């Protein structure tokens, strides 16, 4: 019993250390500063101007709707590029073999890395909210303020685990960055981040349900400007996080076994 | 024992001759595209330069028409033209900066080749590339988002597009020149592409922007070219949009000249400080 507890504690330590380390690395990365701060501010400005032309198309809290949506777009971009390239970067930097060969489970290292990526992505939410308040006079208020931390935590967890799934699948494709370039806009569309899903073709609905960013933005928006507490969205974030983790772990085991068998672990 | 006589090497053209400059311009440009443009391979080109623009156009058409109630075609046209800047800006950044990254910069700079020919030749593939991507964007807009124009204005649209693709490549060349000194050249390239979306009337009509942003938009490449395309699509003739096209060409030329002198200045500075291939 004591050894099992010690093992869990050690696993958690790996995840938290890697999580912190990833955040520190991203803080000095030009690319991720651009993705998590600069790009969301530019997209938020575009959205603010457009909604201003249209005269608050999304209702009374249009600016907050736009700020949260564009912030979440930044979170997705960071997760996509950071998670999608996670294993590939370790390969280029020559640390993949060391991490895979270490006594600790590699999936925990990867989980810490992608959770760190998703957490870093939430800078974009702060950036777009601050931008909206300072430059566009956006009122900052939440209908369910106590639910906001819970919604954020669920969204980080969901997106972090989705990043892990991206990392394990993208590694099968030689040009992971190209896939990341491709998938940025479609997920912004399909998850209703800034344009309500009700206005898009009906066949996008089922696709959006299995994408965790849909529920992430729904949870945060629900807590901030929703009419009811976003319990369903928070629950869906957690359920999908679990499903994604199981899938990611299975794929990771397969990929790693194949790479070891073919001796291609360090070959890009 | 007799010694085999080696054939005398061919006498190359004088580095300053027109023939040599043409070879550097034409063949050098093509070779640099194949060697330095990281996205030239179909497995990157298709998702990045065709896939991403597809969804960019659809995204802004959906967002724009939802937020403003305007015709999706307005956003489709803006973004179909804007995607040509991706090829020009990213491509030219890579075409210059990757020389340093791949370690070929010292060899290039040690050669007696004309810098103008060397530099100018790199524009052509990216202008053609930008036009192809934009043509694809227009086709998508035509099929899905109701973009329509009179075939009689096609010539003017193409002329405006060629000039716009050139000016975008020119600002990309400036960024490429800067990348000879910067650690991460693509940061600036990404920033430029995003700024075009905000400042140049791609999604937001210029009249809806604050005054200072309108002033900035006038000195950026792309703004006048896009306006010329929009007016030509609305039926304007060369007499009406000729001024816009000429302004776009002038701005592009200014950036191209700035890029050339920046390249020369950084080249000399790199010689002086022994930083030619430092990363």
Minimum distance, in Å, between the CA of residue A83 and any CA atom of chain B? 18
Q: What is the mean pLDDT of residues B149-161?
A: 93
B198 to A39: CB separation less than 8 angstroms, yes or no: no
Report the chain B residue with the minimal C-alpha distance to residue A55: B68
Q: What is the pLDDT of residue B178?
A: 86
| Residues of chain A positioned with their CB less than 8 A from the CB of B186 | 31
DSSP string, B129-194: HHHHHHHHHHHHHHHHS-----GGGHHHHHHHHHHHHHHHHHHHHHHHHHHTTSS-HHHHHHHHHH
- Letter string b/e over residues B173-207, b meaning 16 or more CB atoms within 10 A of that residue's CB: bbbbbbbbbeeebbbbbbbbbbbbbbbbbbbbeee
| Residues of chain A positioned with their CB less than 8 A from the CB of B63 | 47, 50, 194-195
Q: What is the mean pLDDT of residues B226-247?
A: 94
B68 to A53: CB separation less than 8 angstroms, yes or no: yes
B205 to A53: CB separation less than 8 angstroms, yes or no: yes
Q: Distance of CA A174 to CAs A31, A168, A169, Å?
A: 20, 12, 11
**Distance, CA of A224 to CA of A226 (rounded, Å):** 6
A38 to B191: CB separation less than 8 angstroms, yes or no: yes
| Residues of chain A positioned with their CB less than 8 A from the CB of B209 | 49
Q: Which residue among A30, A51, A189 sits closest to B59, beta carbon to beta carbon?
A: A189
Q: What is the pLDDT of residue A177?
A: 75
Q: What is the pLDDT of residue B108?
A: 81
Q: Tell me if A167 sits within 8 A of A83, measured CB to CB.
A: yes
**DSSP 3-state assignment of B5?**
coil
Least confident interval from B5-19, B31-45, B111-125, B142-156: B5-19
Give B88's contacts (C-beta < 8 A, 6+ positions apart). B126, B127, B129, B130, B165, B166, B168, B169, B170, B171, B172
pLDDT tens digits, A154-163: 999 999 999 9
- Over 80: is that where the pLDDT of B256 sits? yes
B213 CB-contact burial (10 Å; exposed 0-12 / middle 13-18 / buried 19+): middle
pLDDT one digit per residue (tens) for chain A, 268 residues: 778 888 889 999 999 999 999 999 999 888 899 999 999 999 999 999 999 888 866 566 788 999 999 999 999 999 999 988 888 888 888 888 888 888 888 899 999 999 999 999 999 999 999 999 998 888 888 888 899 899 999 999 999 999 999 988 887 776 777 788 888 999 999 999 999 998 899 999 999 999 999 999 999 999 998 889 999 999 999 999 999 999 999 999 998 888 888 887 776 5
| Residues of chain B positioned with their CB less than 8 A from the CB of A58 | 67
Report the chain A residue with the minimal C-alpha distance to residue B51: A182
Place of tokens 């990404």: B190
B67 to A186: CB separation less than 8 angstroms, yes or no: no
Per the structure block, which two tokens stand in for A157? 């967890």
């Amino acid at each position: 019993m004591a050894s099992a507890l010690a093992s869990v504690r050690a696993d958690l330590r790996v995840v938290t250390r890697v999580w912190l380390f990833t955040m520190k690395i991203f803080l000095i990365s030009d690319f991720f500063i651009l993705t998590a701060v600069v790009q969301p501010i530019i997209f938020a400005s575009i959205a603010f101007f457009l909604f201003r032309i249209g005269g608050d198309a999304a209702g009374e809290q249009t600016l907050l709707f736009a700020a949260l949506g564009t912030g979440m777009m930044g979170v997705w971009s960071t997760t996509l590029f950071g998670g999608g390239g996670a294993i590939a970067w370790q390969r280029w930097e020559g640390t993949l073999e060391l991490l895979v060969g270490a006594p600790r489970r590699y999936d925990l290292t990867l989980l810490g890395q992608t959770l760190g990526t998703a957490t870093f992505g939430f800078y974009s939410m702060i950036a777009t909210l601050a931008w909206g308040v300072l430059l566009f006079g956006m009122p900052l208020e939440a209908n369910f303020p106590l639910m906001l931390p819970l919604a954020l935590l669920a969204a980080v967890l969901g997106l972090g685990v989705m990043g892990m799934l991206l990392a394990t699948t993208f590694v099968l494709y030689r040009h992971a960055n190209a896939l990341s370039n491709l998938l940025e806009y479609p997920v912004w569309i399909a998850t209703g981040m800034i344009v309500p899903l009700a206005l898009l073709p009906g066949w996008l609905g089922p696709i959006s349900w299995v994408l965790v960013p849909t529920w992430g933005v729904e949870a945060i928006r629900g807590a901030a400007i929703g009419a009811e507490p976003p319990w369903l969205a928070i629950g869906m974030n957690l359920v999908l996080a679990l499903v994604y983790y199981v899938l990611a772990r299975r794929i990771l085991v397969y990929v790693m076994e194949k790479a070891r068998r073919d001796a291609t672990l360090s070959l890009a | 024992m007799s010694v085999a006589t080696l054939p005398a090497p061919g006498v190359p053209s004088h580095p300053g001759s027109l023939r040599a400059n043409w070879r550097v311009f034409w063949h050098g440009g093509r070779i640099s595209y194949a060697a330095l443009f990281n996205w030239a391979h179909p497995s990157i080109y298709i998702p990045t330069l065709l896939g991403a623009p597809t969804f960019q156009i659809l995204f802004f058409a959906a967002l724009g028409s939802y937020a403003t109630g305007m015709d999706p075609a307005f956003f489709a046209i803006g973004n179909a033209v804007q995607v040509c800047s991706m090829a020009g800006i990213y491509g030219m950044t890579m075409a210059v900066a990757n020389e340093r990254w791949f370690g070929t910069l010292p060899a290039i700079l040690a050669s007696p080749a004309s810098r103008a020919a060397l530099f100018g030749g790199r524009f052509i593939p990216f202008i053609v590339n930008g036009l192809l991507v934009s043509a694809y964007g227009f086709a998508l807009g035509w099929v899905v988002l109701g973009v329509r124009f009179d075939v009689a204005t096609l010539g003017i649209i193409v002329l405006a597009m060629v000039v716009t693709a050139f000016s975008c490549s020119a600002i990309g060349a400036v960024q490429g020149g800067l990348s000879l000194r910067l650690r991460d050249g693509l940061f600036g390239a990404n920033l430029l592409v995003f700024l075009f979306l905000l400042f140049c009337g791609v999604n937001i009509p210029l009249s809806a922007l604050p005054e200072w942003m309108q002033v900035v938009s006038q000195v950026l490449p792309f703004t006048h070219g896009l306006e010329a395309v929009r007016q030509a699509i609305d039926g304007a003739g060369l007499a009406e949009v000729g001024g816009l096209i000429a302004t776009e060409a002038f701005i592009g030329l200014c950036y191209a000249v700035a890029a050339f002198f920046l390249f020369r200045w950084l080249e000399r500075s790199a010689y002086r400080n022994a930083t030619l291939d430092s990363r």
